[in-house]
């Protein structure tokens, strides 16, 4: 199953790599920071068709379009282009994210950046890989660690809390990075490129796949109050390597 998902995502990645005149085909979904392009829709339609052919008894939860009530034990959770604003501006930091969830737990996960050629994949209990090679989180402590984060773009009522957490972690860690594609951020922790990631609220297609890849690589991910993620609903996120997991206490009460 995992290899079949990877092949489908690779094909979808070619649709993104071959995109042109992206800005001309971009519209706002309510705010200037929430964008959708014709390629988001086309890639999701392709993924819906191909993934449902793999497991037709599953529900499908994708970012674009209407979200029907989930009634099946299996669910495909899909972001056709995570980092659409980056995609529109040709930054080369966007990804396709696909998770196959069973009874609320992610069983298979694929995150692919077609611009860099980074294919992250995981199956529950089988470890995580980058381009077919096993990956593990780093051993850096917080003082030597890089922190990645979102910025609550779609929930600006949480901005004060977000920046308070940034300040608390800034005083404890080496530096910050803000890349604007949550699934890839989680994968960067999984392969040791960074140590901590947080966001006050994400949608399931933003983190479902990345959360399994991270945990299968030896990482740790929970909500900001320490509770487990809800991979079929909105969640806050605090993700780390094994060494930095206690840094949650620095931000839990903020």
Classified by CATH at the fold level, domain 2-134 comes out as Fructose-1,6-Bisphosphatase; Chain A, domain 1 (3.30.540)
> What is the tens place of the pLDDT at every residue in 74-103?
999 999 999 999 999 899 999 999 999 999
pLDDT digit string (tens) for the chain, length 254 residues: 999 999 999 999 999 998 887 877 787 776 776 788 899 999 999 999 999 999 999 999 999 988 889 999 999 999 999 999 999 989 999 999 999 999 999 999 999 999 999 999 999 999 999 999 999 999 999 999 999 998 887 788 889 999 999 999 999 999 999 999 999 999 999 999 999 999 999 999 999 999 999 999 999 999 999 999 999 999 999 999 999 999 999 898 77
CATH number 3.90.1150.10 is the correct assignment for the domain at 142-251:
no
CA 88 to chain centre: 18
Q: What is the DSSP string of 197-229?
A: EEEEEE-HHHHHHHHHHHHHTT-EEE-TTSPPP
Segments of the chain assigned to CATH 3.30.540.10: 2-134
Whole-model pTM: value is 0.94
User: What length does the chain have?
Assistant: 254
Q: Which residues contact 74 (CB under 8 A, 6 or more apart)?
A: 55, 57, 58, 59, 100, 101, 102
134 in Cβ contact with 234 (< 8 Å): no
In this structure, what is the dihedral angle of CA atoms 55, 121, 67, 149, given to the nearest 10 degrees?
170
Strands 105-113 and 95-102 turn out to be: antiparallel
Segments of the chain assigned to CATH 3.40.190.80: 142-251
- Tokens for 135, please give them: 């990956």
């Amino acid at each position: 199953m995992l290899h079949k998902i990877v092949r489908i995502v690779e094909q979808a990645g070619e649709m993104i790599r071959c995109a042109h005149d992206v800005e001309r085909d971009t519209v706002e979904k309510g705010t200037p920071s929430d964008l959708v392009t014709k390629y988001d829709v086309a890639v999701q339609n392709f993924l819906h068709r191909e993934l449902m052919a793999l497991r037709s008894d599953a529900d499908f939860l994708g970012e674009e379009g209407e979200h029907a009530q989930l009634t099946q034990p299996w669910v495909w959770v899909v972001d056709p282009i995570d980092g659409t604003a980056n995609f529109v501006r040709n930054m080369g930091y966007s990804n396709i994210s696909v998770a196959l969830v069973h009874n609320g737990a992610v069983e298979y996960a694929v995150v692919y950046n077609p611009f860099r050629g980074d294919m992250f994949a995981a199956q529950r209990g089988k470890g995580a890989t980058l381009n077919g090679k096993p990956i593990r989180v780093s051993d850096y402590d917080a003082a030597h660690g890089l922190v990645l984060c979102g910025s609550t773009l779609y929930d600006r009522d949480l901005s004060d809390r977000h920046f308070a957490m940034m300040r608390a972690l800034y005083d404890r860690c080496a530096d910050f990075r803000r890349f604007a594609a949550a699934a890839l951020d989680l994968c960067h922790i999984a392969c040791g490129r960074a140590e901590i990631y947080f966001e006050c609220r994400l949608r399931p297609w933003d983190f479902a796949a990345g959360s399994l890849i991270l945990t299968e690589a030896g990482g740790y991910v929970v909500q900001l109050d320490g509770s487990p993620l809800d991979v079929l609903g909105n969640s806050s996120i605090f993700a780390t390597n094994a060494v930095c997991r206690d840094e949650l206490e620095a931000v839990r009460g903020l």
